[in-house]
Amino acid sequence: MKTYIIAEIGINFNGSLENCYKMIDMSVVAGCNAAKFQIFSAKNLYPKSAGELVWKDDKEEYSYDIYEAVEKFELPNEWVDKLMVYCERKNIDFMASVFDIDGLNIMVEKGMKVIKLSSYTITNIPLIEAASKTGLPIIMSTGGATIGEIEEAVNTVLKYHNDLTILHCSIQYPTNLKDVNMGVMETFLKVFPSVKIGYSDHTEEPSDAPVQSIYLGGSVVEKHITLDKKMKGPDHFFALEPNELKQMVGDIRQAEIDYKNNNFVIDKIIYGNSEKICHEHEQYLRDFCYMTLFSKRNIKKGDIITVKDISILRAGKKEKGLEPKYIELFKQNKVTASKDINFEDPITWETIL
């Protein structure tokens, strides 16, 4: 089977529509099957009080307000139609990750043919269910998740259809080859025989890990791309530049031939461990980016909490709330606040009766 290769443009367009076009062209020239963006709005992603993020690359240390930064990374809605048309003209599939139900509905209305869900939405069962109800194919990354959490997400999709691909992934940026644990691919084949599997790669090496994913049964590879690693932003330094992307695609196509001819070797370092857990090096970003429940208003002790009072957001630097699936409690039961809950505070077991 021919591997479906996704060039992850993500936020690396740096606020420029022209850069979007250039990166689509770059993906076409390299021979990728899809160019992928991210559809999100800051208000549906983080509380305004999410805090400050400090990170460093090879050159310097950065510090910025999380909410304000995310606003700058948004893909303007008015660009989406232009990018979809441009991809069609260039004969490459347009794809976008969606992070909330508003974004999902917008993209379905625009005619997006495949739904991509990021690792950070793997426990957002309400979003996964809404995506599944569309009947569209779903590609879902699994970085930082346990096998049990993935099983719950997969079973949610399977209630509606089985056109699902799960991508093994690590949410370590960049991922060291010794931390890839590609053996998880074999675990996926055993635990989820009715769905397709693939790999979303965050290693700096162009093709070492993607090639191994082909040898272990993967049919999809996703990789971040950039026009220049030196551009400003958190996702450039580990992404592939044009020549590296070409190299990766060529190496994957050769790996397909080698796999068919049984002429390949499994790299023990990249294979690593087959156990699917949240590793220590993933825990920080899991806590930071997995979605949980937050209050949309100041709630007084004794108030009944309804679904309208709740947001599903990433915690950032704040304390986490309940997992999104527990929003069902507020639909089916009369839930009251056991204490005052301020606007944008997490909703936890300790705050409800």
End-to-end CA distance of the chain: 53
pLDDT at 89: 98
Q: Which residue has the tokens 């689509």?
A: 24
pLDDT tens, position by position, 186-227: 999 999 999 999 999 999 999 999 999 999 999 999 999 999
Distance of CA 13 to the CA centre of its chain: 17
What DSSP letter does each residue of 260-293 carry, written as one string?
A: HTT-----HHHH--------HHHHHHHHHHSEEE
DSSP 43: G
Residue 35, CA distances (Å) to 41, 42, 237, 250 in order: 20, 22, 19, 17
User: What mean pLDDT do residues 133-149 have?
Assistant: 98
Judge whether 4-40+75-271 and 291-351 match in fold.
no
Task: Please determine, looking at this structure, whether the domain spanning 291-351 carries the CATH number 3.90.1210.10.
Answer: yes
pLDDT at 233: 87
Cis peptide before 174 (omega within 30 of 0): yes
Of 55-69, 115-129, 196-210, 213-227, the poorest mean pLDDT is in 55-69
User: What mean pLDDT do residues 250-273 have?
Assistant: 98
Query: What is d(CA 352, CA 340) in angstroms, rounded to the nearest whole number?
Result: 10
Sign of the alpha-carbon torsion through 201, 204, 206, 208: negative
Q: Where does 45-143 have alpha helices with state H?
A: 66-73, 77-89, 101-109, 125-133
pLDDT at 272: 98
Q: pLDDT class for 58, splitting at 50, 70, 90?
A: low
CATH number of 4-40+75-271: 3.20.20.70
What does pTM read for this prediction?
0.96
pLDDT tens, position by position, 309-344: 999 999 999 999 999 999 999 998 999 999 999 999
Where along the chain do its domains lie? 4-40+75-271, 291-351
Query: What is d(CA 210, CA 208) in angstroms, rounded to the nearest whole number?
Result: 6
Q: pLDDT class for 64, splitting at 50, 70, 90?
A: confident
Instruction: Assess whether pLDDT exceeds 90 at residue 50.
Output: yes
User: What mean pLDDT do residues 150-177 have?
Assistant: 98
Instruction: Assess whether pLDDT exceeds 70 at residue 276.
Output: yes
Mean per-residue pLDDT of the chain? 96
CA dihedral 232, 237, 238, 242 (to 10 degrees): 90
